[in-house]
Structure 1
Amino acid sequence: MQHVLVIGAGIIGLLTAYKLVGAGLRVTLVEGGEPGREASWAGGGIVSPLYPWRYPAAVQALALQAQDAYPALTAQLLQDSGVDPELHVTGLYWMDVEDEEQALAWAARFERTLERVPVDDVRRTIPALADRFQRALYMPGVANIRNPRLLKALRVALERLAHVEIHSQQPVQGFVQEGGRVVGVRTAAREYRADQVVLAAGAWSGELLATLGVQLPVQPVRGQMILFKCATDFLPSMVLAGRRYAIPRRDGHILVGSTLEYCGFDKSTTENALDSLRATAAELLPDLANAPVVGHWAGLRPGSPDGIPFIGELASHPGLWLNCGHFRNGLVLAPASCRLLADLMLGRAPSIDPTPYAPDQRLG
């Protein structure tokens, strides 16, 4: 049985492991902290890029396939783990979009339902919406997912399977090479070896590859979020204006995010961000001005050029595969990204052209 070592147990690492084990491989996951507690946990959980028509074709291809895959994936995870990831189809309103024609042309090209909606109709649906908006676009099929529960479902499902090991609190210090191949990693405690190694360490992927002399343009980008608790009918749909959004959970929690900060590996929260997010919340939904913030946290996204992830084997270091650099869309792209990596590792015909993601095409 082929043995694969996966570095990182966020959404990409966990789902990569889930797909490989499902294909009959043995998998060991090595995580520097606690599984599922970094960017995957900290994000909002919208199952769409914020403005999908503005992204490169490579991101769009993964996003569209992943969106279509999520209903079956979450149903399977509920069956395998007993944990409901809470895929919640609310639809998404974009307010005062400047490039409406581009958005509508994109939707027509990919056969996605996206429509102009009179703003008065939006206000009837969302009475709490601010009066300042003039135009709206609406996509009814967009969902959000309770990302901490998705991660828990994946971990529980993996723990119930044979041929899976998860090792927490084991920061990787370097790679083990033998016979011209990457065959494992070193931590302070021990070495882990396998037939193939997958790097899915999110914002830390660039630092780890640097130990091999490979310059991967993936860097940490901090994002801060706040959480309100409201009545369950306060916000029936997601709302996005500018670069900020409000996301309703089934239980009345409302997420508002997020910031985009280049400050290294600093994951602390700041008063400036809190004030900015509260102001954004009130601009979208004025009643939130007087609502208490029940949560405020930060995560580190794996920033990459154009948000296009690196997926595939590193030819300069045989045996080492990458699945990293998803920037703001790790959770959005995960089902398609991990499927593509599994296809490549297993020698299956990929359902998406792998060329735009191939590390060797992009690292020179």
Structure 2
Amino acid sequence: MSKQVVVVGGGVIGLLTAFNLAASVDQVVICDQGEVGRESSWAGGGIVSPLYPWRYSPAVTALAHWSQDFYPQLGERLFASTGLDPEVHTTGLYWLDLDDQAQALAWASREQRPLSAVDISAVYDAVPVLGPGFERALYMEGVANVRNPRLVKSLKAALLALPNVSVREHCQITGFVQQDGRIVGVSTAEGELAADEVVLSAGAWSGELLRHLGLELPVEPVKGQMILFKCAEDFLPSMVLAKGRYAIPRRDGHILVGSTLEHAGYDKTPTDQALASLKASAVDLLPGLDGAPVVAHWAGLRPGSPEGVPFIGPVPGFDGLWLNCGHYRNGLVLAPASCQLLADLLNGAEPIIDPAPYAPHGRLG
């Protein structure tokens, strides 16, 4: 078994990869170009479901189902060991006025998921702050959201408590070290860092790093902007989604509204145009937010990939190099399954699900 693993990228995918590998290898080193978890993991909404799960391939569905079932115990385990609660908050989710409602219901029946049509009057009874004019609704019970900044803090604390894990922040990776056709480490501004295995989990920056090896990874940054309101703790009892925008209630009354989809390279600057658009969507969905102060407005970069199917597994032609990246809008949703699958493959264990759809082989340029 490998003695030392270097994980490149300290978002939720990288942190949870390291957490899963720590029990089976001698040493895990996490390197991040900034502070761990401060990119898309920090910026996302944290809904523990793809926004429209029926629109994704079976590959995404398989990861999502495994992760959704696992999240509550992950939250409890991290809270118990660190005292930092990731706040896995089960509220259920309403979809309003979908164009593809029939497709959604057919998917739910096929996948045996608890998604059903509900009378709109029942929705207004359950969510009285909902805006007027909606006519149809679907509801899935049991859908949770996780408070992603707290999940990151909890994961980091859990890792720092492990004697065989080290976290190197502000550690810029400048390339890979090769020897006899194998990847044996990474190059950093402070010198080379040796490894038996290297796992690339650098989100939207993964493609940039793979170019050092002459490989083209179809992962690109896709900007998303969000806003945050503060309301009474009981203002919004459930997550709601309409016209491509969603509102997520946190336990303390914060309401997160998102998000935009923008192809703007690596620019993370929040814009007034997006702020106005998000405010308008928020008030359309929940009129009680009109006039409520926006306590935060931020942007993050999602690792956009074809059809949102992540790359998980060994890189052909470069023994010792593994990918766990390209989760697009579903990094938080898919993290538990993705990171367990990567650990299974690296350890030579029986994989939790069929790894073939995620294999980098045949998918890199």
Tell me the TM-score range normalised by the shorter chain.
Answer: over 0.9
Counterpart secondary structure, 2:267: coil
One-letter amino acid of the counterpart of residue 342, structure 2: L
- Decide whether aligned partners of structure 1 residues 355 and 115 sit closer, same or farther in structure 2, where only a CA change above 3 A counts: same
Paired residues for 1:1-364 under 5 Å:
2-363=3-364
Distance 2:161 2:207 in 1: 32
| Segment drifting more, 96-105 vs 135-144 | 96-105
Q: Quick one: distance in 2 between partners of 1:10 and 1:354?
A: 22
CA distance in 2, matches of 1:39, 1:314: 24
- Tell me which moved more, 347-356 or 106-115: 106-115
**Count of residue pairs brought into register by the alignment:** 364
**In 1, distance between residues paired with 2:99 and 2:301?**
29
Q: Which moved more, 1:134-143 or 1:106-115?
A: 106-115
Structure 2: how far apart are the matches of 1:101 and 1:264?
Answer: 36
- Give 2:80's aligned amino acid: Q
Q: Which amino acid aligns with 1:33?
A: G
Tell me which amino acid in the other structure corresponds to 2:97.
D
CA deviation after TM superposition for structure 1 residue 237, in Å: 0.1
Query: Is the partner of 2:302 in helix, strand or coil?
Result: strand
Q: Provide the rounded CA distance (Å) in 1 between the counterparts of 2:201 and 2:53.
A: 24
Shift of 1:97: 1.2
* CA RMSD across the alignment: 0.9
| Aligned partners of 1:44 and 1:257 also within 8 Å | yes
CA contact (8 A) 1:181 1:318 kept: yes
Superposed CA deviations along residues 150-189 of structure 1, whole A, max 9, x for unmatched, are 0111000000011001000011111111121111111112
Task: Determine if contact 2:5/2:25 at 8 Å carries over to the other structure.
Answer: no
CA contact (8 A) 2:4 2:25 kept: no
Q: TM-score, normalised by structure 1?
A: 0.98
1: CA distance between counterparts of 2:81 and 2:363?
37
CA contact (8 A) 1:312 1:321 kept: yes
1:228 maps to amino acid: F
CA offsets, 1:23-66, max 9 Å, x none?
A: 34420001100001000000000000000011011111101111
- Provide the rounded CA distance (Å) in 2 between the counterparts of 1:101 and 1:275: 32
Instruction: String of CA shifts for 1:296-342, please: whole Å, max 9, x gaps.
Output: 00000000100000000001111000000000000000000001100
Q: How much has 1:111 moved relative to structure 2?
A: 1.7
User: What is the distance in 1 between the residues matched to 2:90 and 2:52?
Assistant: 17
Tell me, yes or no, if the aligned pair for 1:313 and 1:321 is still in contact at 8 Å. Answer: yes
Q: Which residue type is aligned with residue 243 of structure 1?
A: G
> After TM superposition, where is structure 1 displaced by more than 4 Å over at least 4 residues in a row?
none
- Separation in structure 1 between the aligned mates of residue 291 and residue 129 of structure 2, nearest angstrom: 13
In 2, the alpha carbon distance for the partners of 1:206 and 1:62 equals: 22
Secondary structure, aligned partner of 1:197: strand
Amino acid at match of 1:262: H
Q: 2: CA distance between counterparts of 1:80 and 1:194?
A: 28
Instruction: Give the Cα separation in 1 of the matches to 2:205 and 2:103.
Output: 35
Tell me the distance in 2 between the aligned counterparts of 1:326 and 1:232.
32
Q: Look up the SS of the partner of 1:73 in the other structure.
A: helix
Identify unmatched segments of 5+ residues in structure 1.
Answer: none
Alpha-carbon distance between aligned partners in 2 of 1:321 and 1:53, rounded to the nearest angstrom: 29
3-state SS in 2 of match to 1:290: coil
Give the stretch that moved more between structures: 74-83 or 264-273.
74-83
Q: Secondary structure at the match of 1:37?
A: coil
Residues 221 and 260, structure 1, Cα contact 8 Å, conserved in 2: yes
What secondary structure does 1:359 align onto?
coil
Amino acid at match of 2:64: A
SS in structure 1 of the partner of residue 290 of structure 2: helix
1: CA distance between counterparts of 2:275 and 2:194?
44
Q: Is this contact kept in 2: 1:355–1:361, CA < 8 A?
A: no
SS in 1 for 2:362: helix
Sequence identity percentage:
63
Please give the per-residue CA displacement for 1:194-252, whole angstroms capped at 9, x wherever unaligned.
10000000000000001110000111110000000001111000000121100000000
C-alpha distance in structure 1 between counterparts of 2:18 and 2:318, whole Å: 21
Aligned AA for 1:154?
L
| CA drift at 1:361 | 2.7
Of 25-34 and 106-115, the range deviating more from structure 2: 106-115
User: Structure 2 CA distance, aligned partners of 1:112 and 1:22?
Assistant: 33
1:11 is matched by which residue type in structure 2? V
AA at the equivalent of 2:323:
L
